[in-house]
């Protein structure tokens, strides 16, 4: 596929089936090194799909790769290149590069494109040196998620020891329809604290986001240190950790 609108296609009705000729097969496939594919509102994304292929005659390469949401069949992304590395006389790892640009997404589907976030699958057609080929569907699954942002502000600064400290923030996530970040309400976010000189943050409490993704809670200041919010993510939205806000005792 070339790019832009051509990269968005309905694949369920025309999706590949496990069929072909001969004994060439996919034996493994890993998307993005096992990590989620996180899509924001502006940054162009590229990620690899490493496909291990085996045939007695040796591997010729890939002739088709596509990715799409398992729940509704819509997918976006261009297959923009492949490199194959021979591991033995019968086995090669062919890595397909997938590229997507958030600017392709607004208004691209007859429904809200945000609904495609979640579990995706990979289909591919592989070829052998002796002319064998195999059309393989669902050779790997991965999550395509909406990017998220999280802020933290602790006040007053400084705060008296034993005084009350208000820690606020806001959780937002990418909207692929208007390419803006909007508040993510009704989500459990962990408030974490790292005392001055400590190596790690610890969770103090969990707070649910309110209107427009806003967070606010009060804690007792017992020592100087840094406060932050941590959101573990969902099936459709990426995890995110805010920058720490350092508070000293005064």
How do residues 17-63 score in pLDDT, each as one tens digit?
A: 668 999 999 999 999 999 999 999 999 999 999 999 999 999 999 99
Residue 180's CB is within 10 A of a number of other CB atoms, namely: 10
Q: What is the mean pLDDT of the chain?
A: 93
pTM comes to 0.91
Please, where in the chain does CATH 2.60.40.730 lie?
148-247
Tell me the C-alpha distance between 117 and 174, whole Å: 11
Model confidence pLDDT, tens digit, residues 77-113 = 999 999 999 999 999 999 999 999 999 999 999 999 9
Cα distances from 134 to residues 17, 30, 59, 125, in angstroms, run 9, 18, 12, 6
Compute φ and ψ for 17, nearest 5 degrees. -125, 155
Q: Do residues 219 and 159 make contact, with C-beta atoms less than 8 angstroms apart?
A: no
pLDDT of residue 250: 87
Q: 209 in helix, strand or coil?
A: coil
How many Cα atoms within 13 Å fall on the side-chain side of residue 29?
24
pLDDT at res. 5: 40
Cis peptide before 144 (omega within 30 of 0): no
The string of DSSP letters for 90-112 reads SEEEEEEEEEE-GGG-TT-SSS-
Domain(s) labelled CATH 2.60.40.1220 in the chain stretch across 19-146
The residues that bridge with 227 in the sheet, in sequence order, are 193, 245
- Of 76, 48, 81, 96, the residue nearest 144 (C-alpha): 76
Separation of alpha carbons 250 and 247, rounded Å: 9
The candidate with the shortest Cα–Cα distance to 43, out of 106, 101, 113, is: 101
CATH 2.60.40.420 fits 148-247, yes or no: no
Q: Is 162 exposed, middle or buried (0-12, 13-18, 19+ CB in 10 A)?
A: exposed
Cα distances from 199 to residues 196, 221, 230, in angstroms, run: 9, 19, 17
Residue 169 pLDDT more than 70? yes
- Let me know: does 203 contact 190? Beta carbons within 8 Å: yes
The Cα–Cα gap between 204 and 130 comes to: 62
* Mean pLDDT of the region 210-238: 98
C-alpha to C-alpha distance for 117 and 121, rounded to whole angstroms? 12
19-146: CATH topology = Immunoglobulin-like (2.60.40)
- What does the pLDDT read at residue 7? 47
């Amino acid at each position: 596929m070339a790019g832009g609108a051509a990269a968005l296609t309905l694949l369920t009705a025309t999706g590949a089936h496990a069929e072909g000729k001969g004994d060439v097969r996919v034996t493994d496939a890993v998307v993005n090194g096992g990590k989620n594919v996180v899509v924001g509102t502006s940054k162009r994304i590229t990620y690899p799909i490493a496909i291990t292929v085996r045939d007695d005659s040796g591997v010729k390469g890939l002739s088709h790769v596509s990715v799409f949401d398992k729940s509704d069949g819509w997918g976006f992304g261009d297959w923009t290149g492949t490199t194959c590395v021979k591991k033995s006389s019968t086995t090669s790892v062919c890595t397909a590069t997938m590229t997507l640009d958030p600017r392709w997404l607004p208004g691209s589907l007859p429904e809200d494109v945000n609904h495609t976030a979640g579990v995706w699958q990979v289909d591919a057609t592989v070829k052998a040196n002796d002319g064998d080929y195999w059309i393989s569907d669902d050779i790997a699954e991965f999550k395509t998620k909406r990017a998220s942002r999280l802020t933290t502000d602790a006040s007053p600064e400084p705060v008296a020891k034993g005084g009350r400290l208000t820690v606020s923030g806001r959780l937002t996530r990418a909207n692929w329809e208007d390419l803006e970040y909007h508040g993510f309400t009704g989500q459990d976010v962990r408030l974490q604290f790292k005392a001055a000189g400590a190596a790690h943050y610890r969770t103090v409490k969990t707070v649910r986001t309110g209107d427009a993704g806003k967070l606010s809670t009060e804690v007792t200041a017992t020592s100087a240190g840094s406060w932050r919010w941590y959101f573990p993510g969902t099936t459709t939205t990426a995890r995110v950790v805010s920058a720490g806000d350092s508070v000293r005792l005064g």
